[in-house]
């Protein structure tokens, strides 16, 4: 929230700036600043708007909007001129009512606290009961593996709690996925004012969906501000981690930049290695014989000039969605090899920049950024969850999983048709033959317009082989190309790979999980592997909405809760009980049996080769938030420090 102080504009300028405000958000600012109930009643009630990008007018008449803006200008000025001395702090019930009014629909009370945390109105951090002395804190060491979004979040919270920690990062810089992926138009398809730490909002995002470089720079700023950069050892990769029962500690083998190795020890290891950073390259006959440049999207070759070249893109997932538009502009010809068509949602804000006026509002109008974040967290949260549940009674499983899902199919199909314009001949190729949301939903980056260009070919025949100069499809056609881009995704089902993690009694994580069947209680802890926590671990990806930053914050809170218990109670180790783990997996798999990803015929990287869903969670965000709110040590085997 903006601090009370000089407001850098006049009343007239403020009124001008407020013309750009999102009116339902501004209405909440007004209620928040004045405590006046009149603003929560007709004629000021915004209309319900079920679209992802709601109309900023709230469906209110121009006259009512102006009344809200004018009253808000008074309140904001009074706030900055110290005339509002005691701001009324809404109760949870009042907050719940404000939330309902803001989005024009009932926000169930179970969401209130979760959303208040998202808004930065409630602290998400667990607190010490009795903080241990310096010595005890310093004698306890946590090793975080990875300095991406989750690792930095964990480091920031450990730093604030006083628990000593260090971070190892295999790359020369922090940022994880946002450091590694540099393909054209790389960016986030989750709105940035929500895809950012709740405890470190950024009013300055240049776009509603910012690009990778800006997100990486945000993470760098966070890491610097939270004082964690000094604790990161770059160019340092974990090769093996072995738990030693006698000392209840992990012995971790590191590979340093010069190739040498080193052993370090830690009481607790936190894996923050992500799920999507080991490129998956297809095994296509002859791929290695291709004479031109061939590279994966996550290893973009900036030294290769694609201008004037015939460029093949293999794969049509989220990365391809982002890079093809501008690559088509550069290349002489773009050949897209598609195995599956993709559903994509239209997004009004995807290409829009945030106006300077809006950025000003986000920075200086008290509570504006919080209430704006609330609207995003609500709209991009659990809304879609019922749409991806299978209805066993639904009579058309070949096209949708429920009536509701079918309505989404109609809407998204209409969108595709409207985007194709006169290229309706492409419809059979681009219309997916599986229900919407069955694979990760994409945000449209002019995909359908791009594939309709005269200089773009969308090839749906299966690739048979690759020759030194071409891609040959099974219809016998030879497509001459100069460069091949592999947009074929990541080794998402091989979690923590290629690290070798050895738990109690020499048990290896990859023996327990097999090649692709990772499991963990809450996605975080595993029997036989005491004092090991996985952030963004098995089944913690999101397939229906939300932001992975939210999941990271839930997990870090849980982690911190465990560490505080350990330190306060003098526990050398904690280990998830087997029965707790088994019961959780059983419950989760049963839940997954009702979800779209296990729908007959559905093929997605969320599932392993046996069809078990290992990547995404079946839960609503609010369920996972509740499950990870505070650890129950009764679910763990504990051993006291001797
Ligand atoms: P992806 O979604 O896994 O897509 C891979 C694509 O390659 C799919 O179209 C797949 O087809 C195709 N493919 C794989 N192997 C193939 C083969 N042997 N022959 C032909 N086609 C093949 O990969 P991605 O686009 O890199 O994205 C991975 C994940 O990263 C995303 O789902 C998302 O979670 C994350 N991501 C996020 C953003 C963001 O904006 N937040 C951006 C990029 C990536 P099938 O569908 O038939 O398997």
- Mutate which of 190, 315, 432 for ligand 1? The one with the most ligand atoms within 8 Å of its CB, which is 315
Q: In the block, which residue shows the tokens 């068509």?
A: 341
**pLDDT, position 121:** 95
Q: Output the ligand 1 site: residues, CB below 6 A.
A: 187-190, 276, 282, 297, 314-320, 322, 339-340, 439-440, 463, 487-490, 605
Nearest atom within ligand 1 for CA of residue 298: 26
Distances 74 to 11, 29, 34 between C-alpha atoms, Å: 8, 12, 10
| β-bridge partners, 143 | 166, 269
CB 176 within 8 A of CB 148: yes
Q: What is the pLDDT of residue 638?
A: 97
- Give the CB-side neighbour count of residue 214, counting CA atoms within 13 A: 19
Considering only CA atoms, which residue is closest to atom 18 of ligand 1?
A: 282
Expressed in angstroms and rounded, the spacing between residue 187 Cα and the centre of ligand 1 is: 15
DSSP per-residue string spanning 224-261: HHTT-GGGEE-S-EEEEEEEETTTTEEEEEEE-TTS-E
CA–CA dist 524, 540 (Å, integer): 9
Which is it for strands 294-296 and 483-486: parallel, antiparallel or unpaired? parallel
Predicted confidence (pLDDT) per residue in 481-526, tens digit: 999 999 999 999 999 999 999 999 999 999 999 999 999 999 999 9
Work out the pLDDT band at 642, boundaries 50, 70, 90: confident
Q: For residue range 234-263, list pLDDT tens digits in order.
A: 999 999 999 999 999 999 999 999 999 999
**209 close to 347: Cβ distance less than 8 angstroms:** yes
What mean pLDDT do residues 350-371 have? 96
Closest C-alpha residue for ligand 1 atom 21: 315
| Residue among 319, 343, 351, 465 to mutate when testing ligand 1 (max atoms within 8 A of CB) | 319
Global pTM value = 0.96
**205 is written with which tokens?**
């995002």
- What does 492-527 look like in DSSP terms, one character per residue? TTSTTTT-EEE-GGG-BHHHHSTTT----BTTTB-T
For 230, residues 6+ apart whose C-beta sits below 8 A from its C-beta are none
In this structure, are residues 432 and 412 in contact, taking their beta carbons and an 8 Å threshold? Answer: no
Structure confidence at residue 9 (pLDDT) = 83
**Phi/psi of residue 584, nearest 5 degrees:** -65, -45
Helices 368-379 and 356-364 pack at an angle, to 10 degrees, of 110
The rounded distance, in Å, linking the Cα atoms of 263 and 221 is: 30
Residue in 136, 24, 17, 46 with CA at minimum distance from that of residue 567: 136
Token pair of 628, please? Answer: 């990870």
Tokens for 361?
């509002």
User: What tens digit of pLDDT does each residue of 169-187 get?
Assistant: 999 999 999 999 999 999 9
Domains of the chain by range and CATH? 4-107+362-382 (no CATH), 134-278+492-640 (3.50.50.60), 287-343+400-434+436-486 (3.50.50.60)
pLDDT tens column, 1-23: 545 566 778 899 999 999 999 99
Over residues 597-613, mean pLDDT:
93
Separation of CA 433 and ligand 1 centre (Å): 17
At 87, the pLDDT band (50, 70, 90 cuts) reads: confident
Closest C-alpha among 161, 166, 218, 160 to residue 187: 218
Contact 423/328 with Cβ under 8 angstroms? no
User: How confident is the model over 75-81, as a mean pLDDT?
Assistant: 90
3-state helix, strand, coil in the chain (%, to 5): 35, 15, 45
| β partners of residue 456 | 334
pLDDT digits (tens, 9 = 90+) for 441-488: 999 999 999 999 999 999 999 999 999 999 999 999 999 999 999 999
């Amino acid at each position: 929230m903006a601090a009370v102080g000089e407001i850098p504009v006049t009343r007239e300028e403020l009124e001008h700036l407020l013309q750009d405000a999102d009116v339902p958000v501004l209405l909440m600012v007004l209620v928040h600043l004045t405590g006046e109930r009149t603003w929560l009643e007709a004629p000021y009630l915004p209309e319900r708007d079920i679209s992802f990008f709601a109309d900023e007018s709230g469906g209110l008449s121009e006259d009512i909007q102006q009344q809200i803006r004018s009253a808000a200008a008074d309140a904001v000025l009074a706030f900055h001129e110290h005339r509002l001395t005691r701001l009324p702090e809404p109760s949870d019930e009042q907050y719940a009512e404000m939330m309902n009014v803001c989005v024009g629909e009932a926000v169930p009370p179970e969401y209130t606290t979760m959303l208040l945390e998202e808004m930065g109105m409630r602290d998400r951090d667990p607190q010490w009961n009795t903080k241990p002395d310096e010595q005890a804190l310093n004698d306890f060491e946590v090793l975080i593996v990875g300095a991406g979004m989750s690792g930095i979040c964990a480091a920031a919270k450990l730093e604030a709690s006083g628990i000593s920690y260090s971070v190892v990062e295999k790359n020369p810089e922090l940022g994880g996925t946002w450091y590694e992926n540099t393909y054209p138009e790389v960016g986030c398809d989750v709105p940035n004012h929500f895809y950012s730490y709740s405890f470190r909002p950024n009013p300055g995002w240049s776009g509603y969906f910012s690009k990778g470089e800006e997100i990486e720079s945000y993470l760098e700023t966070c890491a610097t501000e939270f004082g964690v950069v000094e604790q990161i050892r770059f160019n340092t990769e974990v090769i093996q981690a072995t738990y030693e029962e006698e000392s209840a500690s992990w012995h971790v083998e590191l590979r340093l930049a010069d190739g040498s190795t080193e052993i370090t020890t830690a009481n607790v290891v936190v894996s923050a290695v992500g799920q999507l950073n080991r490129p998956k390259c297809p095994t296509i006959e002859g791929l290695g014989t291709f004479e031109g440049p061939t590279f994966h999207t996550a290893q973009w070759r900036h030294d290769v000039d694609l201008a004037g070249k015939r460029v093949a893109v293999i794969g049509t997932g989220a990365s391809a969605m982002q890079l093809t538009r501008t690559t088509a502009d550069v290349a002489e010809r773009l050949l897209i090899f598609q195995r599956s068509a993709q559903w994509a949602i239209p997004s009004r804000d995807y290409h829009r920049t945030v106006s300077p006026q809006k950025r000003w509002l986000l920075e200086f109008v008290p509570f504006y950024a919080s209430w704006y974040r609330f609207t995003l967290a609500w709209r991009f949260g659990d809304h879609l969850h019922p749409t991806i549940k299978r209805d066993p009674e639904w009579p058309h499983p070949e096209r949708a999983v429920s009536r509701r899902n079918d309505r989404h199919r109609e809407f998204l199909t209409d969108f595709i048709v409207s985007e194709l314009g006169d290229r309706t001949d492409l419809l059979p190729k681009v219309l997916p033959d599986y229900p919407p949301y069955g694979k990760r939903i994409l945000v449209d980056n002019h995909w359908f317009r791009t594939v309709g260009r005269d200089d773009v070919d969308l090839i749906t025949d299966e690739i048979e082989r690759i020759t030194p100069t071409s891609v040959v499809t099974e219809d016998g056609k030879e497509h001459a190309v100069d460069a091949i881009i592999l947009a074929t995704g990541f080794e998402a089902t091989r979690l923590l790979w290629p690290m070798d993690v050895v738990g109690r009694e020499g048990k290896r994580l990859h023996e327990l999980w097999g090649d692709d069947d990772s499991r963990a209680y809450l996605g975080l802890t595993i029997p036989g592997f005491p004092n090991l926590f996985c952030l963004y671990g098995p089944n913690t990806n999101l397939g229906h909405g939300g932001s992975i930053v939210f999941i990271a914050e839930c997990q870090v809170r849980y982690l911190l809760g465990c560490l505080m218990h350990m330190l306060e109670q003098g526990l050398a180790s904690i280990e998830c009980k087997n029965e707790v783990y088994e019961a959780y997996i059983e419950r989760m798999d049963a839940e997954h049996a009702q979800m779209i990803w296990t729908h007959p015929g559905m093929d997605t990287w969320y599932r392993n080769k046996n069809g078990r869903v290992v990547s995404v969670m079946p839960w609503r965000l609010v369920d996972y938030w509740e499950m990870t709110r505070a650890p129950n040590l009764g679910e763990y085997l504990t051993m006291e420090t001797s």
